[in-house]
Structure 1
Amino acid sequence: MINLIILPGDGIGPEIIKQISKILKSLNIFNIKINIIYSYIGGISIDKYNIPLTKKTINLCKNSDAIFLGCVGGYKWEKYYLKPEMGLLELRKEFNFFANIRPIKCPFKNIDFIILRELNGGIYYGKPRGISKQIINNIPTWYSYNTEIYNEQEIIKIARLGFNLSKNRKKKLCSIDKSNVLETSKLWRKIINYIHNYYFDVKLKHIYIDYSTIELIKNPYIFDIIITSNLFGDILSDECSLLTGSLGMLPSISLNNKSFSLFEPCHGSAPNIAGKNIANPVGTLLSLVIFFEYVLNNKFISNKLYFSIFKTLSLGFGTLDMKNYLNNFKLVSTDEFGDLVNHFFLIND
């Protein structure tokens, strides 16, 4: 029995999570049973408990085999000191999710590469940080500061994972940094080069972050595994949503050293469309594809769900954000898209 905790979160989170719930219920016909527990994170947790992540939710996660997350955040909590996103950052820190794997895959364009993002260090966690006031030219002036920090152990862990992923694919690794300016990137490149000595059969290439933003859109076919820092990985993977058609198309898995995992789409909570039943559930459904392969170790079910999603898209069915990327586009709601995928998933072929 697999214990899965689901954290729908805020905004469109509950709507997209609903679509994977349909697939999970359908697993009964394959004699696969998953014990599902629901809990709160983000803004809805602030509303209920005054904090974005409770100890109860953390303990439920500790007693689970994997976590599935919708998304967090929204306009409602912008003026709060405690932001919904702090719950997600705390969750990553609590379970030491040091790596985030984001597949950038579009079968319609033959695009297939992975962004490996360091997830537990860098500027999102560095201290000191804050907003303060000082006197400049006799004028009281607000200023803010964040600190980018990496140590060699953090870089070694993500580097080893990057090289190992490369060995199982095309044996090409591209490291993206800003080592001509940033000290953290200088250390990053030095450690990556050192670890490369143990993976001599993998071809290593370094690219600066500014140039990579051009190459990823101009010539995405040259990439296979991309490894980069927390901040750069966050930005680049969102940029690469243009290659797949929509930010709603990107799945992800976060890992720690104990093979415990967190699954989530790469997009945000999209509060402007929440409750309208028009959100794109593909990134969430594809995250479930990864869950089936990584946690259930069941490639048959994983492939069956992937081809059910692909078939739905190939027939032209899509939510509003996919309008300009699908041939013979047929507009469907979030629920209708999930129903179509589930229909194809249940068909024996």
Structure 2
Amino acid sequence: MINILILPGDGIGPEITKQVIKIIKSCIFLGLKCKLIYNYIGGISIEKFNIPISDKLLKICNYVDTIFLGCVGGYKWKNCYLKPEEGLLDIRKKLNFFLNIRPIKCPYKNIDFLILRELIGGIYFSKPKGLSKQIINSIPTWYSYNTEVYNEQEIIRIARIGFNLAKTRKQKLCSIDKSNVLDTSKLWRKVVTYIHKFYNEVKLSHLYIDFATIELIKKYNNFDIIITSNLFGDILSDHCSLLTGSLGTLPSISINNKSLSLFEPAHGSAPDIAGLNIANPIGSLLSIVLMLEFVFNCIKLSNKLYYSIYKVLSYGFCTIDMKNIIKNSKIISTNEFGDLVNHFLLLND
């Protein structure tokens, strides 16, 4: 029996998570052995417990096999001294989710590559950081600062995973940095280049982050495995939603060194459309495709869910964010999209 922790979160999180639960329950009907456990993170956790992530939730995470997380944040906590996003950063850091893998895949455009993002280092977590005041030219002036720190062990583990994945695919790896300016990137490139000596069968290339943003859109077929730092990975993976048509279509998986995994869509909480039943659930549903494959080892069921999602799109059904991407599109709600995917999933082959 595999225990799945469900964290709907904020904004459109509960709406897309509802579709995930619908699909998982159908998978249970089809023979999947699992149990669903529910809890809170982000803004909803602040409302219930006055903290974005509770100690109780962190303890629960030690006893589950995998986690699905919707999204966190929203306008209602804009002026709150506690930020919902702190819950997301804490669950990554405290549970050591050091690697995020985001598949950029679109079968009707023949797009298929992976972005591997270092997830618990770099500028999001390094210290010192802060906001302070100082006197500049006799004028009291606010200033802020963030620090980026990487050590070679953090880079080595990302590089090794990247090269090992490359061996199973097209034997190409691209490392993205800003080594012409940043010392952290100079170390990143030096370490990745050294690790490449142990993977001679893999072709290694390096790109600066600014040029990479252009190349990924213009020549995406040149890429297969990409490794990069926390900040650059955050920007690049969202940027690649331009290829698939919507940020709502991108799934992701985060892993730690104890075989715990966290699955979540790439998009944010989209508070402007929360509660309207128009959010795109594809990123969430594709995250369950990944969960079925990598946690449950149910390749057949994973493939069936994957093709059920794209069968719905092939008939022209989509949420409103994809209306200019899908030919002769028929706009449907979040719930209707989930129902159609569920219908195809339950059909006999």
Please give the TM-score of this superposition, normalised by the length of structure 1: 0.99
Aligned to 1:277: 277
For residues 260 and 93 of structure 1, the distance between their equivalents in structure 2, rounded to whole angstroms, comes to 13
For residues 67 and 94 of structure 1, the distance between their equivalents in structure 2, rounded to whole angstroms, comes to 14
CA-CA distance at 1:218 after TM superposition:
1.0
Per-residue deviation, residues 81-101 of structure 1 (Å, max 9, x unmatched): 221000010000111111000
Match runs of 1:116-195 below 5 Å: 116-195=116-195
| SS of aligned partner of 2:259 | coil
Q: Match for 1:19: what amino acid?
A: Q
CA contact (8 A) 2:28 2:34 kept: no
For residues 325 and 158 of structure 2, the distance between their equivalents in structure 1, rounded to whole angstroms, comes to 34
Aligned to 2:103: 103
For residues 342 and 62 of structure 1, the distance between their equivalents in structure 2, rounded to whole angstroms, comes to 31
Q: Match for 2:132: what amino acid?
A: S
Please tell me whether residue 113 in structure 1 is matched to residue 110 in structure 2: no
| SS of aligned partner of 2:277 | coil
Please tell me whether residue 36 in structure 1 is matched to residue 36 in structure 2: yes
Q: Match for 2:94: what amino acid?
A: E
CA-CA distance at 1:78 after TM superposition:
1.1
Q: Match for 1:41: what amino acid?
A: I
For residues 89 and 174 of structure 2, the distance between their equivalents in structure 1, rounded to whole angstroms, comes to 26
Identity in percent: 71
Aligned to 1:6: 6
Q: Match for 1:59: what amino acid?
A: K
| SS of aligned partner of 2:105 | strand
Aligned to 2:55: 55
Aligned to 1:82: 82
Per-residue deviation, residues 235-293 of structure 1 (Å, max 9, x unmatched): 00101001001000000000111221000000000000000000000000000000000
| SS of aligned partner of 1:8 | strand
| SS of aligned partner of 2:4 | strand
| SS of aligned partner of 1:108 | helix
Aligned to 1:214: 214
Aligned to 2:298: 298
Per-residue deviation, residues 203-222 of structure 1 (Å, max 9, x unmatched): 00000000001111111111
CA-CA distance at 1:29 after TM superposition:
3.0
CA contact (8 A) 2:19 2:338 kept: yes
Q: Match for 1:7: what amino acid?
A: L
CA-CA distance at 1:137 after TM superposition:
0.5
Aligned to 2:251: 251
For residues 156 and 212 of structure 1, the distance between their equivalents in structure 2, rounded to whole angstroms, comes to 22
Alpha carbon RMSD of aligned pairs, Å? 0.6
Q: Match for 1:137: what amino acid?
A: N
CA contact (8 A) 2:9 2:71 kept: yes
CA contact (8 A) 2:124 2:230 kept: yes
CA contact (8 A) 2:122 2:148 kept: yes
Where structure 2 has 5 or more consecutive residues not aligned to the other structure, the ranges are: none
| SS of aligned partner of 2:109 | coil
Aligned to 1:21: 21
For residues 29 and 227 of structure 1, the distance between their equivalents in structure 2, rounded to whole angstroms, comes to 38
Q: Match for 1:119: what amino acid?
A: L
For residues 220 and 33 of structure 2, the distance between their equivalents in structure 1, rounded to whole angstroms, comes to 39
| SS of aligned partner of 2:133 | strand
| SS of aligned partner of 2:108 | coil
Could you list the runs of 4 or more consecutive aligned residues of structure 1 that deviate by over 4 angstroms after TM superposition? none
Where structure 1 has 5 or more consecutive residues not aligned to the other structure, the ranges are: none
Would you say how many aligned residue pairs link Structure 1 and Structure 2?
Answer: 349
CA-CA distance at 1:30 after TM superposition:
2.1
CA contact (8 A) 2:255 2:261 kept: yes
For residues 44 and 158 of structure 2, the distance between their equivalents in structure 1, rounded to whole angstroms, comes to 32
Q: Match for 1:207: what amino acid?
A: L
Q: Match for 1:61: what amino acid?
A: C
CA-CA distance at 1:62 after TM superposition:
1.0
For residues 270 and 211 of structure 2, the distance between their equivalents in structure 1, rounded to whole angstroms, comes to 29
CA-CA distance at 1:131 after TM superposition:
0.4
| SS of aligned partner of 1:64 | coil
For residues 288 and 31 of structure 1, the distance between their equivalents in structure 2, rounded to whole angstroms, comes to 15
CA contact (8 A) 2:7 2:70 kept: yes
Per-residue deviation, residues 9-34 of structure 1 (Å, max 9, x unmatched): 00000000000111111123322231
Aligned to 1:225: 225
Per-residue deviation, residues 183-221 of structure 1 (Å, max 9, x unmatched): 000000000001001101000000000000111111111
| SS of aligned partner of 1:81 | coil
For residues 179 and 81 of structure 1, the distance between their equivalents in structure 2, rounded to whole angstroms, comes to 36
Please give the TM-score of this superposition, normalised by the length of structure 2: 0.99
